[in-house]
Amino acid sequence: MRIYGPVPSRRFGLSLGVDIVPHKTCPLDCIYCQLGETDCLQIESEEFYTVEEIIADVKEALAEGPAPDVITLAGSGEPGLYSRLGELIDELKKLSDAPVLLITNAVLLPNPDMAAAALKADILAPSLDAGDKETFERINKPHPDLNFDKIVDALIRVTNAHPGEVRLEVMLIKDINDDRESIEKIAAIARQIKCDRIDINTPVRPPVPERGALPCDEDTLALAKSILGPKAVPIATFEKRHRTPAQKHEFNDVDKNVRETLMRRPCTLKDICDSHNLSEAHAQNILKRLKDADMIQADFTEQGTFYRSKGKNSTLL
Ligand code: SF4
C-alpha cells in the first residue's frame, strides 16, 4: 500500500492518491495502461492491507500537506478488489473535508459489495471504453469470467442510485474505438448512465504506443464530444484548481516523493513542479539524480518529454 502525492490530476486537481491494491492487480489488462501489462489478473477481492494501517498512513500524509482537492482511491490496480472498500471510504471521509474519489474500471460493480462501496464515494469516476463485447475484449482484455452485459447493467444501476458526483471517463484509441459507429455505441450506453460529466480521454502518455494504443486526433475528440453530448469534455491538459500560496509546502524527502509520483504515472517536468511546489531548476536537479541512479528514464514523445520510474520497487537510495 502506498500513499502518493498530492499529485496533479488532469481531471480532479490536486489529488492525494491512496493505493490499496498491489501493483497491477486488476481484473483488466487494458492496452493503454500506463503501468504496463497486468501482473495479476483477478476478480476475487482481498484485504491486501488493513483499514487501520491505510488510515494511519493517510493521516500522516494529510499532516505533512499540502492540502489535496480530493483523496483518490486508485493507483496501480483496481481499488474494487479491496475487500473492505466500503468501510475504508467511511473512515477516509472522517479525516478531512476533501471529497473521497473512487476511480474504478467499473467491471466489479455487479458484485453487491462493490456496488455498495461505490455508492459511498463522494465522487464516483467509472470508465467505459467500449459499446460492445468485442471492443471491450480488444481494449480492456478482461478476466475471462467477466460479462460485458452484466457490467453495463450494473454501471447504469449504480450510477443512477449514486447520491453524489459521477464522472464517466471514455478512453478513445486510434483505429480501435474512435470511429463514429464505436462512439455512437458508447453514447447509447452513456445516455442511460447518470453522470455529471463525461471526460473524453486518449492515451497521450507512454508506454502506450508499445502496446498498440495510439492517441486519436483532435478532430476525433471533437466528433466524440458532438456525439456524447453537452456533458462531454475532451481532457488534454492538467486542470489546476484553487491552489493558493498558503498551500505551498516543502516535502521532507522530496526525491522520494518525486520518484513515488513517477511510479504511479509518467510526468512532465511541469507536472513535477506543480505537484511538489518545486522550481524548474530544483525539479531538474532531482530528475538528474534519479536518472544518474538509473531509477527513472525520459521518454521523448510528440506530446513532450515524460519521466517515469524504471522499476516497481519503491525503495529509494
Ligand atoms: S483498469 Fe486501470 S489499472 Fe487496470 S489495466 Fe486498465 S488502466 Fe491499468
Q: What is the pTM of this model?
A: 0.79
240 domain-assigned: no
State residue 253's pLDDT score: 67
Question: Do 211 and 274 fall within a single domain?
Answer: no
* Whether 20 and 150 share a structural domain: yes
Last residue of one domain, picked from the residues 178, 199, 234: 234
Domain that holds residue 280: 250-309
CATH, residue 254: 1.10.10.10
Q: Are 286 and 253 in contact (CB under 8 A)?
A: no
The β-bridge relationship of strands 2-9 and 13-19 is antiparallel
Q: Is the CB of 105 under 6 A from ligand 1?
A: yes
CA-nearest residue, atom 3 of ligand 1: 77
| Interval 166-188: pLDDT, tens | 999 999 999 999 999 999 999 99
Is residue 278 over pLDDT 50? Answer: yes
- Pocket mutation for ligand 1, best pick of 38, 171, 264 (most atoms within 8 Å of C-beta): 38
Cell of 22: 498491489
161 inside domain: yes
Examine the pLDDT at 194 and tell me if it is beyond 50: yes
Residues 67 and 205 both lie in one domain: yes
Whether residues 124 and 92 fall in one domain: yes
Domain co-membership, 109 together with 40: yes
Q: Are 127 and 263 in a shared domain?
A: no
pLDDT higher than 60, residue 252:
no
Distance 310 CA to ligand 1 centre (A): 19
136: its cell numbers: 471491450
Q: Is 201 in the pocket of ligand 1 (CB under 6 A)?
A: no
Residues 8 and 89 in one domain: yes
Which backbone phi and psi does 114 adopt, to 5 degrees? -65, -40
Q: 63, 29 in Cβ contact below 8 A?
A: no
For residue 314, pLDDT over 50 is answered with no
Any domain includes 244:
no
Does 317 reside within a domain? no
Ligand 1 close to Cβ of residue 208 (< 6 A): no
Q: What is the pLDDT of residues 210-220, one digit of tens each?
A: 788 999 998 99
Same domain, 143 and 290: no
Residue 220: CB within 6 Å of ligand 1?
no
Per the domain annotation, does 122 fall within a domain?
A: yes
Q: What does the pLDDT look like over 27-56, one tens digit per residue?
A: 999 999 988 899 899 999 999 999 999 999
C-beta of 26 in contact with ligand 1 (< 6 A): yes
Asked whether residue 61 is assigned to any structural domain, the reply reads yes
104 close to ligand 1 (CB < 6 Angstrom):
no
168 and 305 in a single domain? The answer is no
Residues 128, 210, single domain; the answer is yes
pLDDT of residue 244: 38
Residue 193 predicted with pLDDT over 60: yes
**pLDDT (0 to 100) of residue 242:** 38
CATH number at residue 125: 3.20.20.70
For ligand 1, atom 8, which residue shows the shortest CA distance? Answer: 33
Decide if 243 is inside a domain: no
Q: Are residues 165 and 276 in the same domain?
A: no
Which atom from ligand 1 is nearest to the alpha carbon of 107? 1
Q: Is residue 316 part of a domain?
A: no
Q: How many domains does the chain have?
A: 2
